[in-house]
Structure 1
Amino acid sequence: MDYDKLVQVMRDLALEAGDRIMEIYNADDFDVKVKSDDSPVTEADEAADALISAGLRAAFPDVLLITEEQAASHGKNADTFLIVDPLDGTKEFIHRRGDFTVNIAYVENGVPTRGVVYAPAKNRLFYTLPQGAAVEEVLYLGQDKHVVGKLGQINEIKVSDPNNSALMVVASKSHRDQATDDYINKYAVKDMKSAGSSLKFCLIATGEADIYPRVGRTMEWDTAAGHAVLQGAGGKVVRFDDHSPLVYGKEGYANPFFIAYSPDVSLKEA
């Protein structure tokens, strides 16, 4: 894989999709439908998916593409593949809370090695450089508030050096439950914040939080891009049950429960 090309294409497609999403987000109204699994989907999900899929297939025609919005792709498997959630955090989008992201990732032998997470409502863009290090790009905004295409300031990001007697925890905004709280209560917590979508991975990658436990259903397209960014910043993502690495390319692309964290956090047993 030409990583320079990959990173450029993923970054540019995420920004283009983000612009399209924000056009719909800022409209007076938008269509919301319900998928077969009872999860919501909007015209923004579909528009972003069409844009990203076309761009990735044109640039990398020989690489398998898995995307949330194309159910036919969910039955395909390969060691190496691209995986997309064109709008992660649809519930946050519908309620106009801003915590939604565009996620694009490249998985090699079960590991997300490159990825981009773009939160267009927050003007925050995170991605891995060609060599794998994670960065946050400071975006240039035009007078119309759209992102200007030129490259912004690139800041390398690193996970925190956590204080295990005063941890910063981030948890899901829409999927918080008693099991999550019970696990968090095993730690000495200084403060806790809620965030939607894959932003939780990025808050650990920047050192704004130390640990994110997820005791609930997720799919690989929800996590792969954030996982890649966190890994590029020195973080880890492990299974909740046995603390082994979270791997990708599983049948059906469903994840087990997991923990994302800065490696110096002393993990507690489930």
Structure 2
Amino acid sequence: MDHDRLFHVMRRLALQAGERIMQIYDSPDFEVRAKADASPVTEADEAADALISEGLSEAFPSLPLVTEEQAESHDQDVSTFLIVDPLDGTKEFVQRRGDFTVNIAYVENCLPVRGVVYAPAKGRLFYTLPDGRSVEERGPFDLDTPGEQVPISVSVPDNRALMVVASKSHRDQATDDYIARYAVKDMKSAGSSLKFCLVATGEADLYPRLGRTMEWDTAAGDAVLRGAGGEVVRFDDHTPLTYGKPGFENPFFIAYAPGVLLVK
């Protein structure tokens, strides 16, 4: 893999998709439909998916592509592939709360090694550089020329006063009960893959997810977090979260800064 080319392609496509998403987000109205699993989908999801899929397929025609909005891509048995969630946090988008992201990742040998997470409504852009280190780019954003790239890294956590981030739209009692087992200084709520990025920047120490997610929801944020020194493990046995699982469905997981003393 040419990681320099991959970086430029993924960054550009994420920005282009974000621009298209914001055109729809800022319009007076947009259509919202329910998919087969009852989750919402909008014209922004579909427009961003078409743009990203076309760009990735043209740039890397031999790489398998898995994307949320194309059900036929979910039947693949792959360990090295590109994976896309063109609009993660559709509920946040529909409610115009801003916590939605464009997610593009490259998985190699079942691990997410490169990724880009772009939150267009918040003007935040996170990604892994060609060497695997993670940065946050400061805007304004140019499609072809990256701006200031600020290195990011996880916190050195204080287990007597942890900063925890949890889902804004998918919080449940099981998650609250688990968080209550830690000494928590403060709690944040965030939508979409931004939760991974808050751990990656040191704005949070711990993000537990005790609920259903798919690999396209997590791969890009997972890559950014790993590139910032963080870890993502299964909730049940604390082994690394891997990708390319049947149906691309994740188990419960924990994303955290090393140094957090995980409880079982």
Which residue of 247, 250, 254 corresponds with 1:255?
A: 250
Residue 151 of structure 1 and its aligned partner are, at CA, apart by 1.8
Residue aligning to 1:2: 2
| Structure 2 residue 205 is matched with structure 1 residue 219 | no
Q: For 1:142-182, what per-residue CA distance to the aligned partner results, in whole angstroms no more than 9, with x for missing partners?
A: xxxxx433321000100000000000000000000000000
For 1:139 and 1:7, the matched residues in 2 are separated by 17
Matched residues, percent identical? 73
Q: Which residue identity does 1:234 align to in structure 2? A: G
- Pick the aligned partner of 1:190 from 185, 201, 219: 185
SS at match of 1:106: strand
Note the C-alpha offset of 1:79. Answer: 1.7
* Aligned residues: CA RMSD: 0.6
Change over 3 Å in CA distance of 1:8–1:148 after alignment to 2: closer
- Paired position in structure 2 for 1:107: 107
**TM-score in terms of structure 1 length:** 0.97
CA displacement, residues 99-134 of structure 1 (integer Å, 9 cap, x when unaligned): 000000000111000000000000000000001000
Q: How much does 1:78 deviate?
A: 1.4
Query: Do the aligned residues in 2 keep the contact of 1:104 with 1:225 (CA within 8 Å)?
Result: yes
Residue 98 of structure 1 pairs with residue 98 of structure 2: yes
How many residue pairs align between the two structures?
263
Question: Which residue is equivalent to 2:139?
Answer: 139
Q: Matched residue of 2:36: which SS? A: coil
Which amino acid in 2 is paired with 1:74?
H
Corresponding residue of 2:80: 80
Kept after mapping to 2: 8 A contact 1:139/1:151: no
For the residue of structure 2 that corresponds to 1:238, the secondary structure is strand
Please tell me the residue identity of whatever aligns with 1:265.
Answer: V
Letter in 1 for 2:211: G
Instruction: Indicate whether 1:17 and 2:17 are aligned.
Output: yes
Alignment of 1:151-190 (within 5 A): 151-190=146-185
Which amino acid in structure 1 is aligned with residue 88 of structure 2?
D
d(CA) in 2 for partners of 1:197 and 1:37?
18
8 Å CA contact retained: 1:112, 1:225: yes
Amino acid at match of 1:104: I
- Tell me, in whole angstroms, the C-alpha distance in 2 between the residues paired with 1:77 and 1:21: 30
Matching residue's letter, 2:251: P
Q: Which amino acid aligns with 2:142?
A: V
1:31-55 CA distance string (max 9 Å, x none): 1011000000000000000000000
List alignment gaps of at least 5 residues for structure 2: none
- Taking the aligned partners of 1:14 and 1:121, their CA distance within structure 2 comes to 13
Report what 1:207 is aligned to.
Answer: 202
Which residue pairs with 2:30 in the alignment?
30
Within 1, Cα distance between the matches of 2:236 and 2:127?
28
Whole-Å separation in 1 of the counterparts to 2:170 and 2:22: 24
Matched position secondary structure for 1:86? strand
Aligned residue type for 1:154: Q
Residue 143 of structure 1 corresponds to none
Q: Which amino acid aligns with 2:229?
A: G
Give SS of 1:82's match.
strand
Query: Quick one: distance in 2 between partners of 1:139 and 1:19?
Result: 13
Q: Where has structure 1 moved over 6 Å in runs of 4 or more?
A: none
Distance 2:85 2:207 in 1: 20
